[in-house]
Chain A
């Protein structure tokens, strides 16, 4: 474990027990989030990105969802003897402890800001409520000033007026900024951003990304950033995890991942997107097929039914482990490890 690790997830499994069967939405995910750093998570719709981060904040609806295994360690204190860790996976999802953490130590920006701001209250009142809930000793009169200050910090013009606006009175970009202002109002140590810019225009998206990076530098918080957009990931992330069907299939530093993608799925993703700064290709190089239904995951490697490098007799026999191929670069693929190892250690693959 790196000493500057803020959040350490070990073998997290979050499953949904439905009539049709069990959806293994998150099935053995491990990663570290380091202080001040940004971990990007990419992967196709339904691969478990949101369920992973909802598990951290214990927002997974139960029933049908359950954390069935693993640890989510939030480290507190410095690097010395006073360092303690709390396992969020063991907290009562409705208890006081997790509620004190949400919005204060860890806060979240959701994809659709309308869903996270209640429509009936002004933006300001919602931010004030968060501040009063989490910051002891702040008077309501000061909380309003703090709210305005927070709105100003995210670049909202006329913050002293906007503080009294209702969410529907703001444009999408303004709402998303106000959402960020609320998420940052208690100076969290970890900000989780689940597709925070997907619904926005590129010009506004660019502003929000720059804003997030500037604020991150200012307050030194760590960020988990989820997106489909490889361009956005390249810009914001220090470390990138690629998920496929509930598991991490590749993880590396951002430069290493883009320069030297090793998993056939990652390679396929990078090859399939049009690059605006390259000569135009007559056709895009698409990944064949679609993500399988969660009840029909192929045996062996989960990507085997779409993989151009599929090796019969190997890839369909076992799930490859997530192994380190070069320092700091993890890949889950038999092209880089052999099947015997996968067969013996298949159960505890990280």
Chain B
């Protein structure tokens, strides 16, 4: 078969490049924007995702993991005694200010647990042994803190809410959605930081179930025993924490607008070039009709050209998005390029290019070969 569509398309390289760069730009814009969005959202729930817990008991209406509220720490016993519960512990998540050596103050979030290894938490340890945290006024600090707190070394001390803690380990990836670095310390030390709020109180109970346990039954039982708390599965809690930021910060809307604009730019460029190309090749399309082709044959040519432009543009755009990932990482922006996202952008690019070529279809439908040949 002679591929007239491709031959015509590649006959005008400049136009082809214009079309393809329009698509590539739009594709890159959408992938990068959504990727940054997903990258930011990941940190909104990363501690939930990584904690080896099946259920989370929260104070009523806690909106997200960072904005924790307190309840009596003794509640944990009521959870531990439920059959099917393998282990349940108190977890404190608390905003603190940290005094820096230069006199400035910065914010951090502390996670307080009695037994870190039992929850395989923190999940990405660079140095130090989390088991040592229970021995006193020690703290693990995340590497991301260097950006805000300046460099720090193990063995140094920092003042958390007036309490001097010795740094005995470092972690990676542990920071909140608001980019506050996370520090890990013993549960009792966490309570000592804010005695007014946290004396004999906790902010969460994390629960691990026995293998094969009935999640819903146990959840119902916890609810019965702790009617003034919320009980969420790991997934629900992660979704809620992420959803909070999407809905309450305009982040979701801003992403939607950018994606929309990206698509618009792509569609306009493709529609414009496809239309002028169609007009320019009017005689050739008339010839297709004259030698026996029907409208469908011409539609197929135009659709094929749109699809090729979409494929090439998408490939370049996706490659560019991957190429900027290290650059963005240097700016401390994490770009998550998920295969589902790439797949959706691919389908979107092809669909929009085909849609854009529809305006040329209309022109073809009224194409009368006889008129074209009068010259």
B partners with A:
no
